Homo-oligomer: A and B are copies of this chain.
Amino acid sequence: MLITRASEYAILSLILLSSAKEPMDSETLSRELSIPKSFLAKILQALAKSGVLKSYKGAKGGFALDKETKDISMLAVMSCVEGKAPAVFECAPAEKSCPSEQANICSIWPFLHKLQGKIDSFLEELTLADIVEE
């Protein structure tokens, strides 16, 4: 899959968390954003694992940003939330000879690579700060 609801929910959460002074628990985030609680919890856990968020257990626990907003790129968010690699466009017949295994290269590979590069750069440079700042 490429970009799913998980990415959307992740970004919604990050926007809200960026203006919070205290950690917010998943239930509150779920309510504020009208996002299913259990699904959101998994997403927040993934963000915590990758270091975007920090989690706090116990009373008054929850999640808080663990980086500056300018250091949180959309690419990083999507990469960790979507199960798979940050890859968006893959060369379908890759298993055969596409990337570089053989001397002959799939004819569309260079173009895919170019497209992927453009998308990655865009998402890499687009940070939470770009969205949140006035």
Q: Tell me the A residues contacting B by CB distance below 8 Å.
A: 1-5, 7-8, 11-12, 15-16, 19, 32-35, 88-90, 92-93, 107-108, 111-112, 114-115, 118, 122, 126, 130-132
Bound-complex Cα distance A90 to B88 (A): 21
Given A15-B111, A15-B112, A93-B34: A88 and B2 interface contact (C-beta under 8 Å)? no
**Further 7 A-B residue pairs, CB within 8 A, beyond A8-B88, A8-B90, A33-B108:** A1-B4, A2-B3, A15-B111, A32-B93, A33-B93, A111-B132, A118-B130
Partner of A3, one of B88, B90, B115, B126: B88
Bound Cα distance A15, B115 (Å): 11
Across the interface, which residues of B come within 8 angstroms of A3, CB to CB? 2-3, 88
- With a cutoff of 8 Å between Cβ atoms, the chain B residues found around residue A118 in the complex are 126, 130-131
On whether the beta carbons of A8 and B131 are closer than 8 Å, the reply is no
Instruction: Select from chain B the residue with minimum beta-carbon distance to A91.
Output: B12
Contacts of A34 in B (CB 8 A): 92-93
A7 CA to B8 CA, complexed, in Å: 18
Interface pairs (14), CB distance under 8 Å: A2-B3, A2-B5, A2-B8, A3-B3, A8-B89, A8-B90, A11-B115, A12-B89, A12-B108, A33-B92, A34-B92, A118-B130, A118-B131, A122-B122
